[in-house]
A = this chain, B = another copy of it.
Amino acid sequence: MPAANTNVTPSSTAIPAPGTGPSPQLFFETANAFQRSQALKAAVELELFTVIGEGKQSSEEIAAGCNASARGTRILCDFLVINGLLRKQANRYSLTRDSAVFLNKKSPAYLGSALRFLLTPEKVEGYNILVEAVRKGGTAIEHHAMLPENPIWVEFAQSMAPLMTMPAEMLATMLKAEQGKPWKVLSLAVGHGLYETSLARHNSNAEIWAVDWPNVLELARTNAVNAGIG
């Protein structure tokens, strides 16, 4: 590659002072944001938060608990620290308050199962063809979520249910279910049925009618039976 000489305008070499010039930071953060979703999903699948919740602290201990390599575990943990989902001090990892409540499988408010719906392949697929959806003004997925009996809603009802346990109890309290009035409750798109089960548990005089696609209704029925209703 022999050299040649050309003119360069001074402005093309001007260096902006830090913090004053335009920044590509948001661009790179946004472009790489998908890595955050995938790291969280991998950590949940490896039960990494649960293992740390059991008291494992070093990457070696955590790796042993997750049946993973120490190197891979350390890199994943460090990424989760950067993104606020773990803490690290002197090479020992610990859960944040929110991770302890929502990501440890042994917590009653465990949300990890929600990823099965939030990151279900059918849902993620739609974002791979987002350009088509924007051109069309609606989903570009052929077997989209609004088709009757799409199994995605069974997955939804199963995996999002834990999130609704507390609100369902709160609803029963707010509606004074314990007064035992002879309610007639109509629930449209009942889903997992946790709200209705909670009302029924607190008010034995409630008569509840649940409507949903047959495959989802089957799950709501199972959940109700498991909760001692029905």
Contacts and interface: CB of A to CB of B under 8 A. Distances in A.
Given A4-B204, A206-B3, A32 B37 contact: yes
Given A34-B127, A98-B24, A138-B71, A203 B3 contact: yes
Q: How many copies does the complex hold?
A: 2
A189 interface: no
Contacts of A97: 22
A179 interface: no
Interface in A53-103: 66-73, 75-76, 83-85, 97-98, 100-103
B137 A71 contact: yes
B34 A37 contact: yes
A38 B229 CA distance: 43
A163 B24 contact: yes
- The DSSP consensus for interface residues of chain A is helix
A193 to B, nearest CB: 7
Given A4-B201, A22-B97, A38-B127, 19 more contacts: A2-B230, A3-B205, A5-B204, A13-B169, A25-B98, A27-B103, A30-B36, A31-B41, A31-B115, A33-B33, A33-B36, A34-B37, A35-B127, A39-B130, A46-B135, A69-B135, A69-B136, A72-B137, A72-B138
Interface of A: 1-6, 8, 12-13, 15, 22-28, 30-42, 45-46, 66-73, 75-76, 83-85, 97-98, 100-103, 109, 111, 114-115, 118-119, 124, 127-128, 130-131, 133-138, 163, 165-166, 169-170, 172-173, 193, 196-197, 199-210, 220-221, 224, 227-230
11 contacts: A1-B193, A1-B224, A3-B200, A3-B203, A4-B200, A34-B38, A34-B124, A42-B130, A67-B135, A69-B136, A72-B134
